[in-house]
């Protein structure tokens, strides 16, 4: 863990941020909050990364254009409808920004807009028109308000996913808060996730963008639940500078402190998402060391956690290590398979199941005990260099099919 303190409050933990969430009527279930807002009291530096899918939600195009200047002041997101593959999608997203800007008395170009939910379902502007005044009027900086905002972007998520930390930079205390959603349709190079990060750290646009992209490469892009890359993925960060530190403008020790805190926040969110994968009962982490390069380590760790056969074996607490070797073999990484060691690890201990690419005697009973835990690590040593990587996923269960068999209903 990096040198930071865990706080309550999620996205409102940093100075100058407020949040809220309401039921606006986008979703039929009146008990479901479906519209979320995060607001910075002053205009903030902004950066974002998006899905690699060629089919993109309309809000992504609007957000890209809005924060092209590197600034934003508010984030609005809805659940229940992805606003994707709709003829008037961009018009709806743009109008949403304008409605919010009018209530907040800010420029509509300073709004990040995002949607998640069913693809191809027409989205009406009416819920936004009728709910915007209530949404803005209810803004607050309490942990309860932050929780409402988290709930407003949840779809098949079963738990809210938020975190906040405090760390020292330039002799000042700075904070990072974040919230995310994502449970299914999740695969490396972003997933069906919306992740919004706030910080009061004073950092330049260039270094903020660098930090976000580098962290995402090692965290969100190393996450897979089901192999499907979604259309609406957005990870956005706002930095309003209210912590009062000297602006971070270069890759120095102060930048490294910020980067370490941001990396910790994002990795913790990734673990939450993987553990809450649709139908999942276990968090699965593949930790690869000894790769020829970092690229090879990433290829191996991603491929292992994406293996449907391995994911099913983990669900059944079956130490079927051959499925790990099989995945490594088709990963396209530069690997000497005669040097590969594999072990399974959990709170109950660790057991070596493969040495130098071949099976070794082990206790099936002990392995079962280890794999019955809800957090499982597959440890792979390629014994071929210094490259390292972690990837995050979950087991594959009967419930995944049940959830996605009637998702639209």
Report the distance separating Cα 120 and Cα 267, nearest Å: 31
Which of 84, 192, 234, 397 is catalytic? The answer is: 192
Report the distance separating Cα 180 and Cα 330, nearest Å: 32
- Mapped onto helix, strand or coil, the DSSP state of residue 132 is helix
* β partners of residue 172: 169
DSSP sequence for 60-101? HHHHHHHGGGSEEEEEEEESSB---S-TTHHHHHHHHHHHHH
Contact residues for 376 (Cβ-Cβ < 8 A; gap 6+): 282, 283, 284, 285, 314, 344, 345, 346, 370
Enumerate the H helices of 197-292 as residue ranges. Answer: 205-218, 253-275
CA dihedral (253, 298, 393, 46) in degrees, to 10, reads: 40
Task: Tell me 292's DSSP state.
Answer: S
- Burial class of 274 by CB neighbour count within 10 A (0 to 12, 13 to 18, 19+): buried
* β partners of residue 375: 283
The answer to whether 116 and 40 have CB atoms below 8 angstroms apart is no
Q: Is 229 part of the annotated catalytic residue set? A: no
Residue 376's φ and ψ, nearest 5 degrees, are -120, 135
User: Mind telling me the catalytic residues?
Assistant: 192
């Amino acid at each position: 863990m990096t040198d930071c303190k865990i706080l309550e409050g999620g996205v409102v933990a940093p100075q100058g941020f407020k949040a809220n969430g309401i039921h606006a009527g986008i979703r039929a279930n009146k008990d479901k909050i479906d519209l979320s807002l995060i607001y910075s009291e002053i205009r903030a530096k902004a950066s974002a990364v998006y899905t690699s899918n060629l089919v993109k939600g309309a809000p992504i195009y609007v957000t890209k254009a809005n924060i092209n200047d590197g600034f934003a002041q508010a984030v609005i997101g809805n659940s229940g409808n992805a606003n994707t593959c709709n003829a008037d999608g961009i018009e709806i997203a743009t109008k949403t920004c304008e409605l919010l800007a009018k209530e907040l008395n800010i420029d509509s170009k300073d709004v990040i807009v995002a949607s998640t939910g069913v693809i191809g379902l027409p989205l009406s502007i009416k819920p936004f028109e009728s709910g915007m005044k209530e949404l803005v009027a209810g803004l607050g900086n309490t942990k309860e308000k932050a929780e409402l905002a988290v709930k407003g972007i949840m779809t098949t998520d079963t738990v809210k996913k938020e975190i906040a930390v405090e760390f020292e930079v330039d002799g000042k205390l700075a904070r990072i808060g974040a919230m995310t959603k994502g449970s299914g349709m999740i695969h490396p190079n972003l997933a069906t996730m919306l992740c919004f990060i706030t910080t009061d750290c004073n950092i330049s646009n260039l270094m903020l963008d660098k930090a976000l992209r580098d962290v995402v490469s090692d965290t969100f892009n190393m996450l897979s639940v089901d192999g499907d890359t979604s259309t609406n993925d957005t990870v956005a960060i706002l930095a309003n500078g209210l912590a009062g530190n000297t602006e971070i403008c270069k890759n120095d020790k102060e930048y490294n402190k910020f980067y370490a805190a941001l990396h910790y926040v994002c990795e913790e969110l990734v673990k939450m998402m993987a553990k809450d994968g649709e139908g999942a009962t276990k968090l699965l982490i593949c930790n690869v060391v000894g790769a020829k390069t970092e690229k090879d380590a990433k290829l191996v760790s991603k491929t292992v956690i994406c293996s449907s056969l391995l994911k099913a074996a983990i669900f059944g607490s079956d130490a079927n290590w051959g499925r790990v070797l099989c995945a490594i073999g088709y990963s396209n990484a530069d690997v000497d398979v005669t040097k590969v060691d594999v072990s399974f690890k959990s709170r109950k201990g660790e057991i070596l199941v493969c040495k130098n690419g071949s099976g070794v005697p082990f206790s099936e009973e002990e392995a079962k005990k280890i794999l019955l835990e809800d957090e499982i690590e597959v440890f792979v040593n390629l014994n071929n260099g210094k490259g390292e990587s972690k990837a995050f996923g979950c087991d594959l269960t009967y419930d995944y099919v049940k959830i996605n068999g009637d998702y639209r209903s």
